[in-house]
Chain A
């Protein structure tokens, strides 16, 4: 079945460090891929998305490229800020199996000044 695997957390970084959160997926067909973020005390928010192979999603300095050959959608940011501290979820939506999202377990990012 369809699934998403994220790197285990927590990830602890200093301000201005480079961030990578790995995400790989298993799916039939050509899914759409998403990163959602959950700030403390808030609901899930869409951070970025990509709908086909080689697409790059970007938002707020974060980027992720849809790599079909490696079935990956790694999240990166060149210089993290304290305000980026949150839980990040990788998710997919299979275009064959309906429209509900399938999420990874989430990765907690903690950035210190």
Chain B
């Protein structure tokens, strides 16, 4: 079974530029998550989708971050404009169902963003 795919794996941009990340979840997984992992910290949820609807975006800096999941499959996360503090690894995860005992989240390899 193919895992969660993310691209690009690495991205270097200058502050005030824009950047986009792509995620393709495991086939059939209804729930998709974007996490931000700053160096030395644990991942922090940015946004959670259930199919193509947003379940939780309370920690998404909406003045610069946006995300969409058209057709309820793959998803893109965009930052515009980027700030130095956005340097982090952006992780995408998916799960079969949103709750219950069996909703293990499977993580992609992440996109490492460096903002100069």
Q: Are B98 and A99 in contact (CB under 8 A)?
A: yes
Cα(A58)–Cα(B43), bound, Å: 23
Shortest Cβ distance from A45 into B: residue: B107
Q: Which of B33, B42, B48, B104 contacts A4 (CB 8 A)?
A: B42
Q: Chain B residues with Cβ under 8 A from A99's Cβ? A: 31, 48, 55, 95, 98-99, 103
Taken residue by residue from 53 to 94, chain B's Cβ proximity to chain A (1 for < 8 Å, 0 otherwise) reads as 001100000000000000000000000000000000001010
Tell me which of A14-22, A61-69, A70-78, A103-111 binds B.
A103-111
Which positions 95-116 of chain B face chain A at CB distance < 8 Å? 95, 98-99, 101, 103-105, 107-110
Contact B107 A44 (CB under 8 A): yes
CB distance from B30 to the nearest CB of A (A): 11
Closest to A90 in B: B42
Query: Can you name the residue of chain A whose Cβ is closest to the Cβ of B48?
Result: A100
Alpha-carbon gap, A100 to B105, bound state (A): 9
Residue of A nearest to B102 (CB): A51
- Complexed CA–CA distance, A99 and B31 (Å): 10
Q: How far is the CB of A107 from chain B (nearest CB, A)?
A: 10
Whether A100 contacts B104 in the complex (CB less than 8 A), given A4-B42, A105-B41, A106-B42, comes out as no
Q: Which residue of B lies closest to A9 (CB)?
A: B40
Set of chain B residues within 8 Å of A105, measured between Cβ atoms? 40-42
Q: Which residue of A lies closest to B38 (CB)?
A: A105
Asked if A98 and B48 make an inter-chain contact with CB atoms under 8 angstroms apart, the answer reads: yes
Answer whether residue B13 sits at the interface, using C-beta atoms and an 8 A cutoff: no
Chain A residues within an 8 Å CB radius of B93: 44
Report the bound CA distance from A51 to B99 in whole Å.
Answer: 12
Assess whether B41 is in contact with A101, with CB atoms less than 8 Å apart.
no
Q: A43-B91, A44-B107 are in contact. Are A100 and B45 (CB under 8 A)?
A: yes
- What are the residues of chain B within 8 A of A49 when measuring CB–CB? 104
For B41, give its contact among A36, A42, A106 (CB under 8 Å).
A106
Residues of A in contact with B (beta carbons under 8 Å apart): 4, 32, 36, 42-46, 49, 51, 89, 91, 95, 98-106
Question: Which residues in B have some Cβ–Cβ distance to A below 8 Å?
Answer: 3-4, 31, 33, 40-45, 48, 55-56, 91, 93, 95, 98-99, 101, 103-105, 107-110
